[in-house]
Amino acid sequence: MLTVPIRQLGESERATVERILDQDPYAGAQIAERVAAHGLNWWRSDGRIYGYGPGRRVESLCWSGAHLVPVCATPAAVAAYADLLGSEPRICSSIIGRADAVLDLWDRLGGHWGPARDVRPNQPLLVADREAPIAPDPEVRLVKPAEVDQLFPAAVSMYTEEVGVSPLLDDGGRGYKRRIADLVRAKRAYARFVGDRVVFKAELAIVTGRTTQVQGVWVDPEFRGRGLAAGAMAAVVRDALHRVAPTVSLYVNDYNTAARRVYARCGFVPNGSFATVLF
């Protein structure tokens, strides 16, 4: 029996969910995009949103689907979510969000769901709300639908390097290629080409009314160390701010000092820390 008030939320409580997501628009971006597209009917969006709070008041949220994402989760809320989720088989491939909540969740769920493939306890969350103070690279542009085949090998290399497994393993990469093609069609994928070769890429993986989250930033290993990344990211930030959202956000592994220097040069400022648990 749960010792705290927790329940699954439905469409009638959408305004409450949006209020809480607005309290942390960066940690809640993934959920906010889903809610905007599908509402809160879990059978339409392949996930469920749980709320925690006394009586009918909701103080925090937790999205449970392909990813597990806590938002505005106090220690008491984390304990409640862990009580509920620990009694069920794991369905998520990762736990992502503010570091304190994610690591507390994992401490409580690890005995039920472990082991994890990787735990990244400190991923600085960075935000930019104005153009970079350095010149954008004019060669960085949106990828065209006819260029998906050129972009895809770079995307596979990035994913394998970042996540530690190849996206080609499950279905030969068909699902991942569809995701890349969807981002291209939505004008959310950027690249710099040298001939037919992609030497820089980045995507706007999440878009909400408050922010767009950049993921998949990658430079061809042969072109690293040449100062390409800073101008390329400046170009992404410039276009995203003018065309997509009022802020640009991302999170980066704390040990990736080269990337962190690039983001600092592009005007990103810290906004706390994320953590990720990968299965």
- Model confidence pLDDT, tens digit, residues 63-99: 999 999 999 999 999 999 999 999 999 999 999 999 9
pLDDT at 44: 67
DSSP conformation letters of the chain: --SS-EEE--GGGHHHHHHHHHHSTTTTHHHHHHHHHHTT-HHHHTSEEEEE-STT---EEEEESSEEEEES--HHHHHHHHHHHTTS----SEEEEEHHHHHHHHHHHHHHHPPPSEEEEEEEEEEE-S--SSPPPTT-EEPPGGGHHHHHHHHHHHHHHHHSS-TTTTTTTHHHHHHHHHHHHTT-EEEEEETTEEEEEEEEEEE-SS-EEEEEEEE-GGGTTSSHHHHHHHHHHHHHHHHT-S-EEEE--TT-HHHHHHHHHTT-EEEEEEEEEE-
**Bridge pairing between strands 67-71 and 94-98:** parallel
pLDDT at 165: 87
Which bin fits 216, alpha (ψ -120 to 50), beta or left (φ > 0)? left
Fold of 140-272: Aminopeptidase (3.40.630)
pLDDT digits (tens, 9 = 90+) for 139-193: 999 999 999 999 999 999 999 988 888 888 888 889 999 999 999 999 999 999 9
Q: Which two tokens stand for residue 101?
A: 């909540």
Model-wide pTM > 0.75: yes
pLDDT at position 226 over 70? yes
Q: What is the mean pLDDT of residues 218-247?
A: 96
pLDDT at 45: 67
pLDDT at 57: 87
CA atoms of 270 and 272, how far apart (whole Å): 6
Query: 49 forms bridges with which residues in the sheet?
Result: 63
Q: Determine which of 159-163, 190-194, 228-232, 272-276 has the lowest per-residue pLDDT on average.
A: 159-163
pLDDT at 108: 96
Omega prior to 138 cis, within 30 of 0: no
First CA to last CA distance, the chain: 28
pLDDT at position 2 over 50? no
Q: Which two tokens stand for residue 65?
A: 């689907």
